[in-house]
Structure 1
Amino acid sequence: MILADLQSRLRIALTNTLVEEWTLFTPTTGTSRPSARTIAFHLGWYLRQTVERTWSVDSEYDRSGMVLEQAVQFDGDTRHVPDLIVHQRGLLGPEHNLLLAHVSVDEASGPDDVPELSSAQALQRRFGYRYAMLLDLRLHVEGRRASVTPYWQWATLEKGAESPEPVAVYTPRVLAEITERARRAGD
C-alpha cells in the first residue's frame, strides 16, 4: 500500500472517530480527558473497516515476548510503545508490517509523553514497519465546548521523515465541517 492510500484511509478512520465518538472529546463525559489509548482503540476500530482483511489492526502487539532494548525504546528512559499497529500477525519484515502509530491527545500531558519522530523511526527500523505516524489531536476544551486540530507527521522506512514538522490532517474548512457534524451527532 502506498503512503497516500494509507493516509487517505487513516483520514477516513479519524473522521469517523471524531464524528461517531465525539462524546469522548467533550467535557460532558467527565472531568478527565480521553487517553491516547482510548482514542487509538477507536481509530483502529474504524481503520479496520478500511484496510484489507489480510492486515491485523492491534495495539501493542508483542509477538516476540522480548523486552525492548534501550536502543529501540522511545526517548531513552521513557518507554513509549506504539498505540496502534497494522501488520500481519506472526510474520516479520516490511511486507508484513505496514504501520506503527503513536497518538497524543493534547499538550496537557506534557512534551515528555509525546515521542519525537526520530524515536518512532527507531522502532520502525528495528521491526521493519513501512510507515510510522505520530498523530497529535490537539484537543482543546473551553467550558463545555471541545475542539480538535489534528496534526500528523509521517516517516517511510525507505526515505525517512516525509516532512520536517507535523502537518494539519484537514484543511480548516473540512475540519469545521467535520466538527459541526460531530457536534450535531453528539447532541
Structure 2
Amino acid sequence: MILADLQSRLRIALTNTLVEEWTLFTPTTGTSRPSERTIAFQLGWYVRQTVERTWNVDSEYDRSGMMLESSVQFGPDAGHVPNLIVHHRGLLGPEHNLLLVHVAVDSTTADEPGPGIETAQALQRRFGYRYAMLLDLRLHTEGRRASVTPYWQWATLEHGPETPEPVAVYTPRVLNEITERARRAGD
C-alpha cells in the first residue's frame, strides 16, 4: 500500500471517528478529557473498516513481553507506546508491519510534550513498520463546546520523515463541515 492511499484511508477513519463518536470529545459535567488510548481504540474501529481484512488492527499489541531498550521507547517513559498498529499478528518484517500510530489529545499545550517523529522512527526501524504516524487532535474545550484541529506527521521506513513538521489533516473548510456534521449527529 502506498503512503497516499494509506493517508486517504486514515483520513476517512478519522472523519468517521469524529462524526460518529463526537460525544467522546464533547465535555460534560464532571468528566475529564478523553484519553489517548480511548481515542485510539475508537479510531481503530474505523481503521479496521478501511484496510483489507488480511490486516490486524490492534492497540498496544505486544506478544513478546520484552522490555524496550531506552533507545526505542516511545517517549521519555515506558508509558508512551504506539497506541494503534496495523500488522499481521505474529509475523515480522515490513511486509507484515504496515503502520504504527501514536494519538495525542493535545500535545501543543501539554506540560510534557509527547513523542516526536524521531521516536516514532526508532520504533519503526526496530520493528520494521512501513509507516509511522503521529496524530495530534489538538482538542480544545470551552464550556460544553469542543473543537478539534487534527494535525499529523508521517514517516516511511525507506525515506524517513515525509512530513518533517505536523501538517493539518483537513483544510479549514472541510474541518468545519466535519465538525458541524459531528455536532448535528451528537445532538
Alignment TM-score, normalising by the size of structure 2: 0.95
Change (3 A) 1:111 1:15: same
Displacement of 1:75 after TM fit? Answer: 3.2
Q: Which residue number corresponds to residue 166 of structure 1? A: 166
Q: Does 1:101 align with 2:93?
A: no
Alignment TM-score, normalising by the size of structure 1: 0.95
Q: Distance in 1 between matches of 2:103 and 2:145?
A: 22
Q: Distance in 2 between matches of 1:174 and 1:37?
A: 26
Q: Which residue number corresponds to residue 83 of structure 2? A: 83
Higher fraction of helix: 1
Q: How many matched pairs? A: 187
Q: Distance in 1 between matches of 2:61 and 2:47?
A: 16
What code does the residue aligned with 2:172 have?
Answer: P
Displacement of 1:171 after TM fit? Answer: 0.4
Identity of aligned residues (%): 83
Q: Secondary structure at the match of 1:62?
A: coil
Q: Secondary structure at the match of 1:180?
A: helix
Q: Which runs of 5+ in 1 are unaligned?
A: none
What code does the residue aligned with 2:37 have?
Answer: R
Q: Secondary structure at the match of 1:112?
A: coil
Q: Secondary structure at the match of 1:28?
A: coil
Bigger Cα displacement from structure 2, 75-84 vs 126-135: 75-84
Q: Does 1:125 align with 2:125?
A: yes
Q: Distance in 2 between matches of 1:65 and 1:125?
A: 19
Matches within 5 A, 1:130-169: 130-169=130-169
Displacement of 1:71 after TM fit? Answer: 1.6
Q: Deviations over 1:20-68 (max 9, x none)?
A: 0000000127430000000000000011011001100001111222111
Q: CA RMSD in A?
A: 1.4
Q: Which runs of 5+ in 2 are unaligned?
A: none
Q: Does 1:3 align with 2:3?
A: yes
What code does the residue aligned with 1:37 have?
Answer: R
Displacement of 1:106 after TM fit? Answer: 1.4
Q: Which residue number corresponds to residue 110 of structure 1? A: 110
Change (3 A) 1:43 1:60: same
Q: Distance in 2 between matches of 1:125 and 1:112?
A: 25
Q: Distance in 1 between matches of 2:90 and 2:139?
A: 35
Matches within 5 A, 1:44-59: 44-59=44-59
